Structure 1
Amino acid sequence: MKKTAFYPAMILILTAGIYAISSGNTPRPAPGSVTIGAKVRPVKDEDIPEIKNFNQIFVRVASSVIPSVVAVIPTRVDSGPTPGNEGDLTSQDKKEKKHRVQALGSGVIVSPEGYILTNDHVISGAQEIDIHLSDGRIFKAAPIGSDSLSDVAVLKIKGTAPKNLPVAYLGNSDSLHPGDWVAAIGNPFSLLSTITQGIISALQREVSDVTMYQNFIQTDAAINPGNSGGALVNVYGEVIGINTLIYSQDGSFIGIGFAIPINMAKKVLVDLIYKGRVIRGWIGLSIQELTNEISQALGMQSVNGVLVSDVYSGQPAEKAGLKRGDVILYINNQQVKTGNDLRNIVASIQPGTEVPVIVFRGGKKIKLMLKVTERTPQALEQTNSYHSESLSKESKFDGIDTRSGISVTDLNVEIRQTYNIAPDIQGAMVTNIKSGFSDARATLLPGDIIIEASVQGKKPRKITTGAQFHQFVATLKNGDLVMLLINRTGNTFYIPFEFKNP
């Protein structure tokens, strides 16, 4: 139906065109006698002088920065069967054949020696890497180092770098503000040397994988596939971020892009160049975000800070005197509002440095001194020495029902064997949770172990048996703010809730 409707329309258009061209009876005006367009510009430079200056801002940015932003072309060699027709009886005899798969990203030349900053995900798995400059020159590059935790990678042009390499100027991402004008430069969809402009929408964004070190700049400057590793620059042409990812439901840009702050990327760059690995600080504890319920249960007036849910034996936090239930407010004289703040601040501290830590404990602020060590695989391994089997919502054991809506039982031999619970873990095991909770109790699972319980304004009580937890719940009054310390598969965290009489 669509084709039938389309062709007559096409014929009519073409026929009309032919008629117009062939009709030569109408007199033609003399060349140059027709006035086309208005004679006066709607807005003159002298009317709004700022317009001319503003118009030139991104022209200057483009001309000065584009030469230092390169196309990064990683090539991966995959082995697989040679293509064949379906049903080909000889397909079983096909031999393995290597296929070259190319991708496209961006990078920024940051050194006259030929060092290039890009994203780890751009070059991951590549056997060969080509660098294309905007002036048409092509170079081979080799990876100097990558850091998946920040998604930063460093390349270097092979051999002796040419003396006339265009080098980007690195700015200071700590001086940025929401609303600042910025431009994103890269190679989206293989469209080389593309510049788009926008503003900084927000700072200190945390997205996706919480195991990564994140402090993203959010921008509405268009970032698309191929922009990764390219430059986010300010109106002075200073690189203030490395474009990394977008928020999208279908892969296309919808006005939300993210860039790694250049100060964070630069630290990784320097470590990879001079040390071959990234040096990060480590203090050895587990944390969770403050919620309104947790803050109220602890007697705090704000949700700024992070709650210490576990302190690992022999690690810097324990040596400094930090305890479960502490709320970290400041470290190294920097305010801690979220867990992401704490991770980034600690990571930036040079190992061996002693720093002050301000914590909220028992209604008071306490100052401690903590000596930061290095985040190493050995340190991480010490914090993961015990894990029981993963839990499900299915209840495997009966327990004592309590007024809290949480049924519990003692840790006997059968339960320890079923859940692979270490002998040194003591507490009351959750066997069932009443349905219909809208608070944090709804996140509990059968197999969770209650090891501590407290009410606002009172000291925490150790829980080693189901009977002890039953006795604790029996003392609760309507409106009490309760905090339970839970051990799940070797990790501890707090569950807050307001007790209401059943």
Structure 2
Amino acid sequence: MKRFAVAQTLIPISILSALIGGAIFIYSCSFANADRPEKGSITFGAVKKTPISSAAQFTPFRTMFADIAEKVVPTVVQVIPTKIDTVIFSNNPFYQFFGDPFGLNDFMGKRQQQRRVPPVEKREYKQQGLGSGVIVSADGYILTNYHVVAGADEIEIKTSDNRSFEADVIGTDSLSDVAVVKIKEKVNDLPVAYLGDSDKLRPGDWAIAIGNPFSLASSVTLGIVSALGRTTGNSNNYQNFIQTDAAINPGNSGGALVNIEGELVGINTMIYTQSGGYMGIGFAIPINMARKIMEDLIYEGKVNRGWLGVMIQDIDPATREAFNLSPETKGVLIGDVFKGQPADNAGIRRGDIVISVNNHPVRSANDLRNSIAAIHPGEKVPLEIIRNNKKLILNVTLTERGSNKLYQSTKTGSNNENTEKEEHAAYLGITAANLTLELSQKAGVDKDTKGVVIIEIDPNSQVAQEGINQFDIILEINKKPVSSLKDFKSLTKNLKTGESIIFLLQRQGNTFFKAFKIR
């Protein structure tokens, strides 16, 4: 009974609560509706623009970048490569591998020739990529990256006005990451980019990147030229990148980098990233370099690069001091000259320092490599060099490098001592020995090579830190020849801490200089 009485009391309370809640809801709704303002009774935003004073010279900035984009965007296209994989399926793999193991065909009276592998089915799987390209001629030539079109079976071009075309690859150059494609259809009215002069760029110049990142067509990003002459560490490729902080992302490859005049100055090619996306460091191929390669591919079907026939290296402070060069001197050190090649024929020697090619200064090994490569084989060009602190000009007729060809150093000869007695001498953590027949074989050099061989290096020594290795051949010390341990001892015995020393070394058939201050 008591329990029942409690239940009777709870029911009216719950009903009362519901009634009160409903009343509150109705009241609040009616109050909100009654309190709403009439349309148009509120003024949104300030009545007057905030007065902002700006110098008259900044007025053109209001539309400058939009004006550039309006003109340049139509010259940048989407390049859509498609790779097609064909897979063959058998409808009955049991028959394909085992035939008729139970003899059913014979039992049913079927003739032997009727036994066949079941029909096969071919299926094509298409995988699409996405990149960008720049229209460089009204009849449909397009400049893009090698890595955008490499391995493509089909290429589709989409313009900014939504037209679509099929295209063929005209030529590619993997060493510079440049490719040229051409629209198959006959066209003559395409918008064309104006090719500027990338040699005139300076760090700090405005840079505008246009492309199709992440399939977002005709995207425009703004930045500056961060640096010039960048490389990414692959010494086999020809690199002279423009670095920019204009946002470049996957899909921008092959797109345009333009200057403040709307001139094409680079072809966007790669980014530095730890996340897979933009981190403020992008790279573009200078248009002067890309144009030369493009013209070779279109007119000749391949890239023809000049060949000098030397081993080269940058000049570090220790090398500069060892060669008595002034701090202002910029150039490239010749580490080796290949026998019978253009440099050898022109009289260039190991130890020469090249300071200009064709009247254009060179400041690094990469500069020299690119400068020579940009000159067609057969052309005669002046090289300005420093030899024994004197400037000389030598005329060199460049050739084309032969593929898979081995080149021999100019300076080899008979070892004066030609001794089989293995003596040792130590200096700076180096243990050296005369080049006996056995040691010549271990070091992989000709038995008649002049020099002494490093048979052991203290791993904690300065020479080990400088990158000198076991079985390197010492050919010279401080530009004096080393034919034996006697020479080695004579040239090292009076050297003191703080002085510069420069070795001429041979490793795997190539010679190079290594200089440092003795600690």
1:108/1:116 contact within 8 Å kept: yes
2:435/2:447 contact within 8 Å kept: no
Measured against aligned partners, the alpha-carbon deviations of 1:91-119 in whole angstroms (never above 9, x if no partner) come to x9999965322111000111011100000
Aligned to 2:387: 361
Q: CA deviation at 1:271?
A: 1.1
Q: CA deviation at 1:77?
A: 2.5
Amino acid at match of 1:32: G
TM-score of the aligned structures, taking structure 2 as reference length: 0.81
What aligned pairs does 1:42-441 form with structure 2 within 5 A after superposition?
A: 42-43=50-51, 48-78=55-85, 98-160=124-186, 162-302=187-327, 304-373=330-399, 375-378=400-403, 381-383=405-407, 400-438=424-462
Amino acid at match of 1:66: V
User: Cα 1:50–1:365, aligned 2, differ >3 Å: closer, same or farther?
Assistant: closer
2:429/2:462 contact within 8 Å kept: no
User: Cα 1:498–1:238, aligned 2, differ >3 Å: closer, same or farther?
Assistant: closer
1:441/1:497 contact within 8 Å kept: no
Aligned to 1:5: none
User: Cα 1:468–1:22, aligned 2, differ >3 Å: closer, same or farther?
Assistant: farther
Measured against aligned partners, the alpha-carbon deviations of 1:270-326 in whole angstroms (never above 9, x if no partner) come to 111111111222211011110000010111122621110000111111111111111
User: Cα 1:95–1:494, aligned 2, differ >3 Å: closer, same or farther?
Assistant: farther
- CA distance in 2 between partners of 1:159 and 1:180 (Å): 38
2:429/2:463 contact within 8 Å kept: no
Q: CA deviation at 1:355?
A: 2.4
What aligned pairs does 1:458-497 form with structure 2 within 5 A after superposition?
A: 460-497=479-516
SS in 2 for 1:55: helix
Residues paired across the two proteins, number = 455
Residues 204-213 or 310-319, more deviating: 204-213
2:428/2:461 contact within 8 Å kept: no
2:506/2:512 contact within 8 Å kept: yes
Amino acid at match of 1:36: F
User: Cα 1:419–1:99, aligned 2, differ >3 Å: closer, same or farther?
Assistant: farther
1:480/1:499 contact within 8 Å kept: yes
The answer as to 2:456 corresponding to 1:446 is: no
- Bigger Rg, structure 1 or 2: 2
Q: CA deviation at 1:466?
A: 3.5
Residues 355-364 or 218-227, more deviating: 355-364
1:218/1:259 contact within 8 Å kept: yes
TM-score of the aligned structures, taking structure 1 as reference length: 0.84
2:76/2:159 contact within 8 Å kept: yes
User: Cα 1:384–1:134, aligned 2, differ >3 Å: closer, same or farther?
Assistant: farther
SS in 2 for 1:264: helix
Aligned to 1:7: none
Q: CA deviation at 1:50?
A: 4.6
Q: CA deviation at 1:447?
A: 1.3
- CA distance in 2 between partners of 1:69 and 1:465 (Å): 64
1:106/1:187 contact within 8 Å kept: yes
Amino acid at match of 2:488: F
- CA distance in 2 between partners of 1:196 and 1:175 (Å): 21
User: Cα 1:106–1:407, aligned 2, differ >3 Å: closer, same or farther?
Assistant: same
Residues 269-278 or 425-434, more deviating: 425-434
User: Cα 1:334–1:223, aligned 2, differ >3 Å: closer, same or farther?
Assistant: same
Q: CA deviation at 1:159?
A: 3.5
Q: CA deviation at 1:195?
A: 0.6
- CA distance in 1 between partners of 2:443 and 2:462 (Å): 27
User: Cα 1:299–1:95, aligned 2, differ >3 Å: closer, same or farther?
Assistant: farther
- CA distance in 1 between partners of 2:284 and 2:483 (Å): 48
Amino acid at match of 1:207: T
SS in 2 for 1:407: strand
Identity %: 46
SS in 1 for 2:32: coil
After superposition, the CA RMSD in angstroms is 2.9
- CA distance in 2 between partners of 1:242 and 1:20 (Å): 64
